[in-house]
Amino acid sequence: MVVIDGKVLAAKLQGRLAEKTALLKDKTGLEPGLVVILVGENPASQVYVRNKERSALAAGFRSEVVRVPDTITQAELLGLIERYNQDDAWHGILVQLPLPAHIDEEAVLLAIDPQKDVDGFHPTNMGKFWSGHPVMIPSTPAGIMEMFREYGITLEGKKAVVIGRSNIVGKPMAQLLLDAHATVTIAHSRTENLAQLAREADILVVAIGRGHFVTKDFVKEGAVVIDVGMNRDENGKLIGDVAYDEVKELASYITPVPGGVGPMTITMLMEQTFEAFQRNLDK
C-alpha cells in the first residue's frame, strides 16, 4: 500500500510555480494577483482562507484577503466583486463558501468575471469544461488528477466509482476520469447496494461528506482510494469520508486526511491564478 502524500506533491508543484512567477515578474515587472473575499467568521472558512493566502504569498503572488461582516448585503457584496472584476491587477477572485443565508450563492458566483473565476464554478467555465474546452477546472478534481499523474496510476480502461455528485467535486471528477478513458459510475447516498457497487471499482473517489462512511466493505483489494472528505469526529479531530485504518489494508494507493487531497486543492487554485495571469499578458 502506498500513501499518496498531497503535502509533499503540493510543495513540489508550488516550488515550480514560484520559479515560474519569479521569471515572469523579472521579465514583465508584473505578478499574479489573487483576492479572497471572506464573509463572516466561519471557523473552517477562516482556516481555508489563511491557507490560501499563505500559498499565494509563497508562490510570489500579490495576495489580498477582504474580510467583511456577515451583515453585508447582497448588493454590497456584488459591488465589491465588480470592483475587483474591473481591476487588472487581480487575476483571480475567490469568494469563500458557504455564504450567509440572506445572500444568493448563485448570484455571487455569476457576478465573478469568468476569466477571473479560478474556482471554476461560473456557468461559463462549467459549460466550457463539459463541452471539452476547459479553461478553469474545479480545483479539487484537478488536484486529484495531478496525484494520479505523479504516482503513475493508470486510468485508461479502469472502472472508476465516484461517491458524491456535487458540482464542485463529484460531477467534474467523473468528467475528468472519463476524459482519461476510465469507465465511470457516479454514486451517492441514495444509491442502492452502494457498498457492492463500490467494491467493483479499480479507482474509488469518495466525496460524500460523512465521516468514515466508506469502510473495508466498500473496497476491493488493490483499489486506488481517494478521500475528499473533511469532517470532524466527536473529539473534534479532522477525519475523512473513508475509514482509513481499515481500508488501507486493502488499497494499493490511498490518500490520508489531513495531508492528502486538501493541499492539492489549494495548489491548483494557485496554478489557475497563474494561468489566468498568463492569459491576461497574452491579450
204 phi and psi, to 5 degrees? -120, 115
Q: How far apart are CA 71 and CA 40, in angstroms?
A: 8
Average pLDDT along the chain, 283 residues, taken 10 residues at a time: 97 96 94 96 84 93 96 97 97 94 95 96 93 93 98 98 95 97 97 98 97 97 97 91 97 97 95 95 82
Can you say which residues are annotated as belonging to the binding site for NADP(+)? 164-166
Check 5, 14, 52, 117 and give the catalytic one.
52
Res 236: pLDDT: 87
43-58 vs 261-281: helix axis angle to the nearest 10? 50
pTM of the full structure: 0.94
| Domains of the chain with CATH codes | 28-114 (3.40.50.10860), 139-262 (3.40.50.720)
Res 282: pLDDT: 83
Q: What single letter denotes the amino acid at residue 261?
A: V
Q: How far apart are CA 136 and CA 133, in angstroms?
A: 10
Task: Find the Cα–Cα–Cα–Cα dihedral 254, 257, 260, 264, rounded to 10°.
Answer: 140
Check 5, 14, 115, 119 and give the catalytic one.
119
User: Which residue has 483489494 as its cell numbers?
Assistant: 221
Nearest one of 85, 36, 31 to 62, comparing CA atoms: 31
Is-catalytic flag, 52? yes
Burial 44-63 (b: 16+ CB within 10 A, else e): ebeebbeebbebbebbbbbb
Can you say which residues are annotated as belonging to the binding site? 164-166
Q: How far apart are CA 112 and CA 117, in angstroms?
A: 6
Q: How far apart are CA 183 and CA 202, in angstroms?
A: 10
**Do residues 193 and 122 lie in contact, with contact meaning Cβ atoms separated by under 8 Å?**
no
Q: How far apart are CA 104 and CA 123, in angstroms?
A: 15
Nearest one of 53, 46, 108 to 81, comparing CA atoms: 108
DSSP states along 187-240: E-TT-TTHHHHHTT-SEEEE----TT-B-GGG--TT-EEEE---EE-TTS-EE-
Is-catalytic flag, 119? yes
Q: How far apart are CA 146 and CA 226, in angstroms?
A: 12
Which parts of 19-146 are beta strand (E)?
Answer: 33-39, 62-68, 92-95
Check 5, 14, 96, 241 and give the catalytic one.
96
Is-catalytic flag, 20? no
